[in-house]
Structure 1
Amino acid sequence: MHVMKSKWIGITVSILLASATFAGCANKPTPGAGNQAGGAKPFQGKTISLVTANHPWGEAIKPLLPEFEAATGASVKVESFFEDQLTQKLTVQFTSGSATPDVFMYRPLQEGKLFFKNGWVAPLDDYVNKDASYDFADFSKSAVGSTTVDGKLAGIPIITEQEILYYRKDLLQQANIAVPKTLDELVAAVKKLHDPKKELYGFVARGQRSPLVTQVSSFLYSEGADFTSGDKATINTPEAVKAFTTYGTLLRDYGPPGVLNMSWPQAIGIFAQGKVAFYTDANSIYANATDPTKSTVADKVGFAVFPAGKAGSKPYNITSWGLSMNAKSANKDAVWEFIKWATSKDIVLKTQAKGNPGARASVWDKPEGKQGFPAELVPVIVESSKGGVDHDRPTVISVGEARDAVGEIVQKVMSGETNIQATADKANAALQAIMDKDKGK
């Protein structure tokens, strides 16, 4: 969720190479994992280098690696890095033409287009169609859309996110307010529950210029707008201006003090303190509101599908993390075998049971696939996953610059600017210039 500040040319960075290395040891393969013990192992002696983020999915997959190694004969060497450190490492290695890592976690909507445009990742279209049992159609279309660049599959979804509405069940019950199903209903409920004299605020969300962009996106789509249309920037349309104005006004008039400088940790933090009635953000951070050690209202938090605007309820439904193959890997067949295994129905079921929301519809149909999440949240995730939009920010190479251009509009609303159309026109011109510049990269 952070902005990637490094560029692909002339990058010199100092990287902490503190990593957690995992070397699998032989184990008997589980039923259905591949070749039986003693049988032919197609990748005997091969070593696959895997780089993960310091993320719960990485922690969930590491104990399962012996299954893959026993079935294939390959060994998997793992290194793990913090999010921005991971981006730096991958960028430096790919710029130098390195054949490692063979396979890696990446953020499709943050650096996916950059990586693909520079030829650093191998398209996976042919691979996913090789084996009918892989059942690629089982993946959410929107999640696959996040990992698709110029019509080519640049990676496989492993972690999905949808924007949802968090709310205080007790406050709504006391005020006899139904859970908002539309943005108009949300605004009305926020106004009714806002009581700053009692340190109770109607609404909170991200207010920082760049971080807010991903969350205002669902307001944008639900009003029938988008950041771009083809090669044209479209953040100054009437629908877009309405969406930005709604979001910014909710934060300005009904948000807590300091909301202009809040990203998600601060926003969900004040919601968890019991000081806010409504909060909208990614479903993936729910534990910050429901964990009794972090939240004073853990047992009072409700979840709902994102409220509908003029175009209906259209939250983002994205792949926040995917797995991709290094285009220069010398072990592409073995790497694909690993990706296929790691994103198979069986393994996704196991990683999802640990609280990692995957992109396979069939896994959400199984009790084990739901056990890692609050019972009330599961139907909201499932419903949000059925449709939604496959991006939560402008799909450009220069993502950071684009987010700043969009975020400027909302911040002007929050600061009380009256001529938002003029601000949007200026921001739209800036976004168009960014898009035009990216064409030459």
Structure 2
Amino acid sequence: MKKYFMVIVIGIILLVSSLALSQEDPLAYYRQAKINWRAFEGTQLTIGLNKHPFTESLRPLIPHFEELTGIKVAYVILPEEEFFEKLLIDLSSGGGIFDVYMTSPMFEWRYQYAGWIEDLNQFWNNPELTDQEWYNRDDFYEKPLRANMWDGTIGGGLGQGRWNAIPVMAEFFCQVYREDLREKWGLTVPTNYPDLLTTLTKAAEMGKQETPQVYGVANRGIKSWSTVHSGYFTAFSTYGQKDIYPDLTAAINTPEAKEITQIWVDILQKAGPPGWPNYTWYDAKQNYAAGRFYEITDCDFFAATYENPAQSVVAGKNGYALPAAAPDGNITSNMWTWALGMSSFSKYKEAAWLFLLWATAPQTMLDGTLIHDNFNPTRKSVWENPAVIEKTMKWGTEPGQYRKIVDDMYGMYGDIRWTPNPDVTTVGDIWAEALHEAYEGKKPVSQALDDAAVKINEFMKKWKK
């Protein structure tokens, strides 16, 4: 407890000092770099951004970049599905509206294959544009940095070859539950998926007695790869399953795959939200924060919202736990990392690179996390900053509970589980349709997955050698 108190004191001192220095001269840190920040003064960049907490952490800081460089920045912010659609139109047409855009490995595989995203290695290795020592790329956690590199091998090659984008946040998938209701209802924290089904079914029944009603579990449900990606794929990979085999045929309909999918569908049917097929991650996060659910197995970084009294009625009432385990004790989590990449159609690539350097520099990412809640940071120095430790240490039922989840995810359990290929989101969409068919009772789980596997195999034929 004494050590915990000292961390808090140090964190407060550093936070005050950091804010004071920022008020004195927010650009001093960047001027230490051996970079001519004014080289492209007068240029205007347009940034494509998803409606996301990272975006809200970046926006207030952009005026600092404009003052530092003389480069004007315009940005477009759209909800996730619309954002990807508009970005696809811009890239596929070669329009070049967006110089820089938010992206992620699953989309970069397609963009790279089509020639729509720049290889950042050429800018990184240019001493006239980059001060590598000042930037300190080794400060990034390996998994999100490696995830944004790919050599173009269909079915492999992750972490090699081209550097497509710079990770700005990482999310893993864990259990978040209402500790106050757990105690009230006499429930335990599930350690395996059959227990998870039993616990959430009980929670859904007990929640009917609450006013307003509390449902068992919040999960995404729209007919999209994103529904597969989060809690479901975490459970799926925990059971040792993959999306496709090395020969690029579907692997989603093995006996083990059908077993865990049946449990997942049962959870949704017995304890899930009304209207699950229309649920987005925005809905799941906001409604859990509004106190309408007992549990959610989704992004760990949602904790920044859940623990913020200005945005959540459940602040201080949450517990955090690793995903449930498979029968053999295995635990895994899928990983998503938002990143910033550069359009191959940008007319201002060097200026765009300066924006990428600035936006992902240690100080920018520290300010984004500490002041504007960009979690989980992808730089070790940010996550281990005493003021960030102080801010996050109290999240959970005991000091350090949330932080240990994130540390364990970076260290042991979390990683990208999708197999690299340019059509991975289409594979995910087909898979999500199977989940809908099973949930709605149109097909048994076994048939839905078998039929989806046939569709995936047909679609993936073009990538076979």
- Contact kept, 8 Å, 2:307 with 2:395, in 1: the verdict is no
Q: Would the alpha carbon gap of residues 401 and 28 (structure 1) be closer, same or farther in structure 2, given more than 3 Å must change? A: same
RMSD of the TM alignment (CA)?
A: 3.5
60-69 or 112-121: bigger deviation: 60-69
Partner of 2:238: 222
For structure 1, list consecutive stretches of 5 or more residues without a partner in the other structure: 1-26
How do 1:91-106 residues align onto structure 2 when only pairs under 5 Å count? 91-98=88-95, 101-106=98-103
Amino acid at match of 2:73: K
2:445 equivalent among 417, 420, 429 = 420
Q: Would the alpha carbon gap of residues 42 and 428 (structure 1) be closer, same or farther in structure 2, given more than 3 Å must change? A: same
SS in 1 for 2:449: helix
Q: Distance in 2 between matches of 1:95 and 1:411?
A: 30
For structure 2, list consecutive stretches of 5 or more residues without a partner in the other structure: 1-23, 127-131, 153-159, 397-401
Q: Distance in 1 between matches of 2:110 and 2:433?
A: 24
Determine whether 1:375 maps to 2:395.
yes
Q: Deviations over 1:384-406 (max 9, x none)?
A: 23344544766544455423321
Greater helix fraction, Structure 1 or Structure 2:
2
The alignment covers a number of residue pairs equal to: 410
Q: Distance in 1 between matches of 2:61 and 2:304?
A: 24
- Contact kept, 8 Å, 2:237 with 2:417, in 1: the verdict is no
SS in 1 for 2:453: helix
Q: Distance in 1 between matches of 2:36 and 2:281?
A: 50
Determine whether 1:314 maps to 2:332.
yes
SS in 1 for 2:172: strand
Partner of 2:342: 325
54-63 or 159-168: bigger deviation: 54-63
Q: Distance in 2 between matches of 1:28 and 1:35?
A: 12
Q: TM-score, normalised by structure 1?
A: 0.79
Q: TM-score, normalised by structure 2?
A: 0.75
Determine whether 1:78 maps to 2:74.
yes
Shift of 1:217: 0.8
Shift of 1:438: 6.2
Determine whether 1:384 maps to 2:409.
yes
- Contact kept, 8 Å, 1:101 with 1:326, in 2: the verdict is yes
Q: Would the alpha carbon gap of residues 191 and 93 (structure 1) be closer, same or farther in structure 2, given more than 3 Å must change? A: closer
Partner of 2:254: 237
Q: Deviations over 1:57-86 (max 9, x none)?
A: 344334434544555x45132222314554
Q: Distance in 1 between matches of 2:228 and 2:43?
A: 40
Percentage identity across aligned positions?
25
How do 1:7-406 residues align onto structure 2 when only pairs under 5 Å count? 30-34=27-31, 43-45=39-41, 47-53=43-49, 54-65=51-62, 67-69=64-66, 71=68, 73-83=69-79, 84-98=81-95, 101-109=98-106, 111-128=107-124, 131-149=132-150, 150=152, 151=160, 152-195=162-205, 198=209, 199=213, 201-210=215-224, 211-215=226-230, 216-230=232-246, 231-268=248-285, 271-272=288-289, 274-286=291-303, 289-290=306-307, 292=309, 295-309=312-326, 310=328, 312-319=330-337, 321-353=338-370, 354-357=372-375, 358-370=377-389, 373=392, 375-376=395-396, 377-391=402-416, 395-398=420-423, 401-406=426-431
